[in-house]
Amino acid sequence: MNINRLTQITLSLVLIVFTIAASNYMKNSVYRLENELKTIHRDIQTDIETIHVLNAEWSKLNNPARLRALVADHIKLNPLKAEQIINYSALPFNYESGESRKQIARRNIADYARHNRKLKKLANAER
């Protein structure tokens, strides 16, 4: 009976040690997960605050009055003239040697304007 009793005590001690080790491991895992959760909550709060700041900046930057003032300051466009409007077919697609694209485009636009009666009338009326 001594061997049975010794086996029971040894088995009980092994079970107690295993239980203590498992509970200690679980406790450390819970602490680690709680810290991770706190970090995630802190990151979420930081992101929410950043989104609020970005929305406020976006509203300020897209204020119509501010945009109108910027447009007035930085874009000084002349009114559109009739001779500036051309047909798509007047744009050059075949380039001849020795001429730049800009020269060909100007020549094509001038040819188109010379042949278009309505455009001539509009151009002459504006002058």
Mean pLDDT, rounded, for 58-73: 89
Q: What is residue 3's predicted lDDT score, i.e. its pLDDT?
A: 79
Q: What is residue 35's predicted lDDT score, i.e. its pLDDT?
A: 96
DSSP structure string for 46-104: HHHHHHHHHHHHHHHHT-HHHHHHHHHHH--PPPPPGGG---GGGS--SPPTT--HHHH
Question: What confidence tens digit (pLDDT) does each residue in 33-61 have?
Answer: 999 999 999 999 999 999 999 999 999 99
Whose structure tokens read 């802190």? 42
Q: What is residue 93's predicted lDDT score, i.e. its pLDDT?
A: 59
pTM, to two decimals: 0.44
Q: What is residue 54's predicted lDDT score, i.e. its pLDDT?
A: 95
Question: What confidence tens digit (pLDDT) does each residue in 87-122 have?
Answer: 666 665 555 566 676 777 777 777 777 777 666 666
CB 86 within 8 A of CB 118: no
